């Protein structure tokens, strides 16, 4: 059985105390033990990072970028190994695991442009003999707390721009699937990253609190559930840290009467059930506009959901695999029972699914609810499983209002052939990421990713230009040399006069 400790100072370090089981979701077996860091172990990682960071910050940005370029080569070399490990610990299929890795790689590619991204501004002769210029400088030691559902992508979203900017990074990945983040850290060292610039501490709440309270950690990025996001943001900012936290979601897809229904059904099946619904950009609410649209949509969805192929992570033709843990599986099943008791119409019930030969795995078939109402828990709360709810809207405005009034505002989509309706929707919807005939509107790496309302806490988004702003501080210099200095003291603030 594999024992997973921490990665500090460029080498693996055995944990000092408690451990947690790492499961293989497709079989239900325990395949490893992961160390749960104490605050002292977190502090040791921070001290190591703090000692290494000044030299890395002084390394010119071209050389920092070269480490990122080499890291990309190594990830490509080990892509199969990474994908197999990810699928084994998480449960997602191999193609989905490769997609997880690729979306992380794209942010690393963006970070390779750090020599350009770190450039400041310059104004010659801003005043008589006065030049003004600004520079971006790293914060120092920063940290990322990342979730189980994207164990490759989100760590890379966090550490790649942070390290490229000249910071040292403490990564606290999910203890449920820690293998891939540890392997990524090894590859960064192989790529030429100095020891201590990327340290990985595995753990649970004790490790998180150690990060939140450590005086030398200047910034924290988090992705996870909204209650924990709010906790981390509140405690982190109270201790003077810069914090960005991305929480839960309840993403709607508005289906207009003129939409291409074939396209709509394909989009909903992929966006609603891909990765077993364990992603913050999953579409979990379909909002057909008008009775005719709703009846046709539900009629088409039922056989498609019933025919979904659920299989082990290694299956070449599975649509999705098992869920991450037995506890999470039971939580999702409980939500389905809540929906039934609340009066929603369960059109497809996947709770009884059993995978032949994998009876102890954490599997569940797709579920489909119709006639879900906005006051039901299954509508208001994030389920994070293969459960799609249909909420019928009488007209476009009601559909728009559903998305706007929900407390979450991560992603939303509209399917229509009407350009005017799509333009109005994009302008008026109160959600951070919008898809037009596009079900999962995750921006590419050179734009920023972030929701609104209770889906986010903090002012700056992930990746894209916001990531450079988040992981740096701006210094502005006003320069005047002796030949331009006037005699006499100046008692007023400088102006443009």
Active site residues per annotation: 280
The phi, psi pair for 53, rounded to 5°, reads -65, -40
CA distance 359 to 352: 11
Structure tokens given for 475: 């210094």
CA distance 414 to 257: 11
CA distance 484 to 288: 70
Question: Around Cβ 284, how many Cβ atoms within 10 Å?
Answer: 24
Question: To which residue do tokens 């979306």 refer?
Answer: 103
Structure tokens given for 276: 């077993």
CA distance 396 to 357: 47
User: Which residues make beta-bridge pairs with 35?
Assistant: 19
Q: How many residues can be counted in the chain?
A: 497
Contact of 275 with 87, CB cutoff 8 Å? no
Helix axes 94-111, 79-90, angle to 10 degrees: 120
Rg (CA), the chain: 25
Say if residue 113 is exposed, middle or buried (CB neighbours under 10 Å; 0-12, 13-18, 19+). middle
Question: To which residue do tokens 């924990």 refer?
Answer: 228
CA distance 429 to 397: 11
Burial 138-169 (b: 16+ CB within 10 A, else e): bbbbbbbbbbbbbbbbbbbbbbbbbbbbbbbb
Using DSSP, state whether 281 is helix, strand or coil: coil
CA distance 234 to 239: 9
Using DSSP, state whether 492 is helix, strand or coil: coil
DSSP code, position 310? B
Backbone CA torsion sign across 370, 335, 271, 431: positive
Structure tokens given for 81: 């190994």
Going by C-alpha positions, the residue among 69, 71, 73 that lies closest to residue 61 is 69
Contact of 409 with 246, CB cutoff 8 Å? no
Structure tokens given for 349: 């019930």
CA distance 148 to 259: 35
The phi, psi pair for 39, rounded to 5°, reads -60, -30
């Amino acid at each position: 059985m594999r024992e997973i400790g921490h990665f500090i100072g460029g080498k693996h370090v055995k944990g000092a105390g408690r451990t947690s089981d790492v499961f293989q979701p497709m079989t239900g077996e325990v395949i490893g033990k992961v160390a749960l860091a104490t605050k002292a172990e977190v502090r040791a990682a921070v001290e190591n990072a703090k000692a290494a960071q000044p030299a890395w910050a002084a390394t010119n940005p071209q050389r920092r970028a070269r480490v990122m370029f080499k890291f990309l080569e190594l990830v490509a070399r080990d892509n199969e190994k990474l994908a197999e490990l990810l699928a084994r610990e998480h449960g997602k299929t191999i193609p989905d695991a490769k997609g997880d890795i690729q979306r992380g790689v794209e942010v690393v590619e963006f970070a390779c442009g750090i020599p350009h991204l770190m450039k400041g501004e310059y104004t010659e002769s801003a005043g008589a003999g006065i030049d003004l210029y600004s520079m971006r400088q790293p914060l120092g030691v920063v940290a990322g707390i990342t979730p189980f559902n994207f164990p490759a992508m989100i760590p890379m979203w966090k550490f790649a721009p942070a390290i490229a900017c000249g910071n040292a990074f403490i990564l606290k990945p999910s203890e449920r699937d820690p293998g891939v983040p540890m392997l990524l850290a090894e590859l960064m060292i192989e790529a030429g990253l100095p020891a201590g610039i990327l340290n990985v501490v595995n753990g649970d709440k004790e490790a998180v609190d150690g990060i939140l309270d450590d005086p030398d950690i200047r910034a924290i990025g988090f992705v996870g559930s909204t209650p924990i996001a709010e906790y981390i943001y509140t405690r982190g900012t109270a201790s003077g840290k810069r914090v960005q936290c991305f929480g839960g979601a309840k993403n709607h897809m508005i289906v207009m009467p003129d939409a291409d229904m074939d396209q709509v059904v394909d989009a909903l099946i992929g966006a609603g059930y891909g990765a077993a619904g364990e992603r913050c950009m999953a579409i979990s609410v379909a909002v057909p506009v008008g009775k005719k649209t709703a009846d046709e949509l539900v009629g088409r969805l039922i056989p498609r959901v019933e025919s979904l192929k659920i299989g082990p992570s290694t299956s070449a033709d599975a649509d999705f695999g098992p869920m991450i843990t037995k506890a999470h599986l039971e939580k999702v099943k409980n939500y389905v029972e809540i929906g039934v008791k609340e009066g929603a119409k369960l059109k497809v019930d996947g709770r009884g699914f059993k995978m032949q030969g994998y009876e102890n795995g954490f599997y569940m078939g797709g579920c489909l609810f119709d006639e879900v109402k906005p006051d039901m828990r299954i509508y208001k709360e994030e389920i994070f499983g293969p459960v799609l709810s249909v909420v019928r809207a009488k007209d476009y405005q009601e559909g728009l209002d559903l998305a706007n009034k929900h407390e979450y505002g991560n992603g939303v989509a509209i399917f229509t052939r009407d350009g005017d309706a799509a333009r109005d929707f994009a302008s008026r919807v109160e959600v951070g990421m919008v898809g037009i005939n596009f079900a999962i509107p995750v921006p590419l790496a050179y734009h920023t990713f972030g929701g609104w309302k209770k889906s986010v806490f903090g002012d700056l988004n992930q990746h894209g230009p916001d990531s450079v702003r988040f992981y740096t501080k701006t210094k502005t210099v006003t320069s005047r040399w002796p030949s331009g200095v006037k005699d006499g003291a100046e008692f007023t603030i400088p102006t443009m006069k």
